[in-house]
Structure 1
Amino acid sequence: MKSISKSLTSSKAFSHIIFLFGPTGVGKTELLLDLDPQRFSVINADSIQVYRHLDIGSAKASKEVQDAITHHLIDVKDPWEQFSVGDFITYADEACEKIHREGKIPVISGGTAYYFKHFLYGLSEAPPSDESIRAQVSAEIEAKGNEWAYTRLGEVDPISAQRIHPSDMYRVSRALEVYEASGKPLSSFSLPTAARNGMQPLVIGLVRDSALLRSRLSLRIKMMFDDGLEDEIRSLLRMGAESSWPGLQGIGYKEFFQAMEHGEWSRSIIADQIERNSRFYAKRQMTFFKSFSEVLWMDPADKESILTEIEQYCCS
């Protein structure tokens, strides 16, 4: 199968942007390798791959893949630093401008669903982060624990509590911060309904048979351990890693720290936990992605059809 290689003028390319999303393990990276690197560049939309030193557990694109096609928004933060959806929009906007100046088309690819949604529509009208309130909320969570924080969120903002996973303490903390700052739940602030900047992206969602996806996830986790995931964790510990670091909230990392908190380090138990959490996460991703309108749902095995859709969109 030939990759797409027809050139476009910069003015034509500037009006185009492609979203390529799907659940963890569905096969996004393999598909990116069929795009012509002279015509496309990738913007990472995975909330853990933005962090340095988190390579294996985040299934970050390998050096060979990054050499084959340019990737943006990988390794832009240290794992102890926060990276918000607002940061993603800022970084992604800058990357899009750079890619368009090069006469290429940006392909935003990843599995962090709310990155796509907010990049398309913008942020809600919720009050901006307040450093003093954030510190207050953070201190309370540290004193009372993550379970208390999620329970508290369920009391003041049950809608957000349903949307946010209990382990996603960045978003739990942000929702509590909004409530403390405004007296209103985060879910009460509406999102814009019109796309930013008149954006009209081609939105491709990748989907596989559920049994096949489970099999791929199982194989992927085995490969992560074979590739040295435990050594990566030990390297992070030598750096002084703490379970509270934002980058370590992702699946593939948090399971190790949870195990250590219980005085355990069993490869089989941790691997089972990663696989279980990955399956649940994939289901949540699909639920969120299905809320998008005008998505072309396609099987990543049908690369010819996907590339045809991309070609038709780029030439429209």
Structure 2
Amino acid sequence: MTSRDDATADSAWADRARATARRYLAAWELAPDGDEEIDGEADDGALLRPVRTPAGEAAVLRVSRPVPGTEHEHLALRLWGGRGAVRLLRAEPAERVLLLERTRAEDLHSVPVLEACRVLGELAGVLARPPRPPFPPLSGLARGWLAELEGAAELDARFPRRFRLQAVAALRRLLRDDLDAVLLPADLHYGAVRAADRAPWLVVRAEPVLAVPEFALVPALRDRTAEAGRGGALAAALEDRLEALALAADADADRLRAWALVRFALTAHRGPDATGLVQLCKAVQRGA
């Protein structure tokens, strides 16, 4: 699909999402409150409308894009029940419409990175729930990723072959573990956690998966790298993050390294530019 086609599809989706939001504003008797729309870039481009409920509670009406990971979000939010995540007030899953507790604008980009890693690690522990259907199991996803990377020889032209093969070997080792251990958000990143009035920090995106914390915490290593520098400075900064994340989440640092290699390689395979990911793969390895 060309960039023009992408822009056309995005515009068409936005028009449909606004029409959907108008219908649920009326159906749920919600009153617009403040800005017409909130920036949903950190929320997979969802349409976000600040509203007041009939009881006067500050809330957000969210219309999510119909992408994998959003179809069971309402179930995960109900299971979490507001502990570590925003409260779910109402839902229409068929149309990906959720009415959520409203948080403040500040996310974890607003605090020092190691403090943010501590918060993410602690939230992983708070949100962990016993595995149950219908959430997707990481083991099944990982087997698909293994086949994808094993057959991705064309990636070697723009991403070091050794990193692809290291990711393949890591996945084979990881698949020996119990990967479907607990219910967690698939991507615990800095923009998915916002400040709130009733708790210091709350996760605002579920993207639920049955997984292990090491998998969910990889975005904390991938994001905010500009402030870490390059080369040895980047490796030292990621080592500090690894330690902070593993300690706060009671996670295994070596497994976190392994999942980082896997997720970086997958991102490189699916994206046009792997330059920054090469630096991350070098930096995340012990002794880099």
TM-score tier, shorter chain, comes to: under 0.3
TM-score, normalised by the number of residues in structure 2: 0.25
* Bigger relative contact order (CA 8 A; separation at least 6): 1
